[in-house]
A and B are shown apart, each in its own frame.
Chain A
Amino acid sequence: MATNYGFKISKAGYDVEDATNDQLIMSSGFNMLKSKPAGTTSGTGDINVAHSLAYIPFCFVIEKISANHYSIIGDTNEAQFEVDSTNLVINADVATDYFRYYIFYHQGY
């Protein structure tokens, strides 16, 4: 009986038998970030987005920093976000800010 089993896909040019983890497209040995449908929101001050999960999830938030210019939060000095057991809380400015967010089925904190 096989003691080593699973599913792996390597990147083009790499042998799946010898590929290191960063040479794989996916492996059943590693969890993948599975996302809820992405959403957008805008506003001022603290913006609450209910995540409806039983844990504090892993999230990405992108800010529209000007017309057609976007930056993931962490790449700007502007908005920040935090996540609690109920909401993704985006700390917007006093002027209206615009955001896209991704919430994942993965406990982040």
Chain B
Amino acid sequence: MTTSHGVKISRAGYGITTNTVEELVFSSGYGTIKIVKEGSGTLVVGAGDTETATVAHSQSFVPMVMVFVELNQGTGRWYHGMSNLPNGATDDGITVSSATYVDDTNLYLTLISSLGSSKTISYKYYMFGDTAEY
């Protein structure tokens, strides 16, 4: 009976038996990042107001989550993270102060506006099948 078993796929140009992990597309011997949920939406915040979008993750653990936001809808400029821009940073005059986090139930995306008028942003999120918990 064999003691070595599993599934491996090598990258083009590499042999399957002599390769290092970097030469593999996939190996059942190593974990890979799995997307367990993804989606998108819009968040509308009133002038000088704060608004939070809540997305249930439906996992039995706190998942690692990545979020991208388009602060200026239609521009195609997507930023990693609601607050990857430092507080007070601007995108075409839009000032943002915000936060993104996940707990054992939901993903929360909060936008705090200092604008004088209502603002709508677009967001995309990816939830992964690995825990974020310490």
Are the C-beta atoms of B25 and A71 separated by less than 8 Å?
Answer: no
**Which residues of A does B touch, CB under 8 Å?**
7, 26, 28-38, 40, 42, 60, 62, 64-65, 68-72, 74-77, 98-100, 102, 105-107
Q: Is B24 an interface residue (CB 8 A)?
A: yes
For A73, the closest partner residue in chain B by CB is: B81
- Give B1-50 interface residues, CB cut-off 8 Å to A: 9, 11-12, 21-22, 24-27, 30-33
In the complex, how many residues of chain B place their beta carbon closer than 8 angstroms to a beta carbon of chain A?
Answer: 36
Hey, which chain B residues are within 8 Å of A26, CB to CB?
26
Hey, which chain A residues are within 8 Å of B134, CB to CB?
40, 42, 64, 70, 98-100
Are the C-beta atoms of B102 and A70 separated by less than 8 Å?
Answer: yes
Hey, which chain B residues are within 8 Å of A64, CB to CB?
133-134
Known contacts A70-B103, A77-B83, A77-B86: A35-B67 contact under CB 8 Å = no
Q: Is B59 an interface residue (CB 8 A)?
A: no
Hey, which chain B residues are within 8 Å of A30, CB to CB?
25
Q: Is B72 an interface residue (CB 8 A)?
A: no
Are the C-beta atoms of A71 and B102 separated by less than 8 Å?
Answer: yes
> Could you list 15 further interchain pairs (A-B, Cβ under 8 angstroms) beyond the known A42-B134, A62-B132, A100-B131?
A29-B25, A31-B11, A31-B25, A34-B30, A35-B32, A38-B130, A60-B64, A69-B103, A70-B102, A72-B81, A75-B67, A75-B84, A75-B101, A100-B64, A100-B134
Hey, which chain A residues are within 8 Å of B62, CB to CB?
68, 70
Known contacts A62-B64, A98-B134: A75-B81 contact under CB 8 Å = yes
Are the C-beta atoms of B31 and A7 separated by less than 8 Å?
Answer: no
For B86, the closest partner residue in chain A by CB is: A77
How far is A77 from B89 in the complex, measured between Cα atoms in Å?
A: 12
Question: Nearest 4 pairs between A and B by C-beta?
Answer: A75-B81, A70-B132, A34-B30, A75-B100
Hey, which chain B residues are within 8 Å of A32, CB to CB?
25-26, 32-33
How far is A88 from B36 in the complex, measured between Cα atoms in Å?
A: 27
How far is A100 from B134 in the complex, measured between Cα atoms in Å?
A: 5
- Give B64-102 interface residues, CB cut-off 8 Å to A: 64-67, 80-84, 86-87, 99-102
Hey, which chain B residues are within 8 Å of A34, CB to CB?
21, 24, 26-27, 30-32
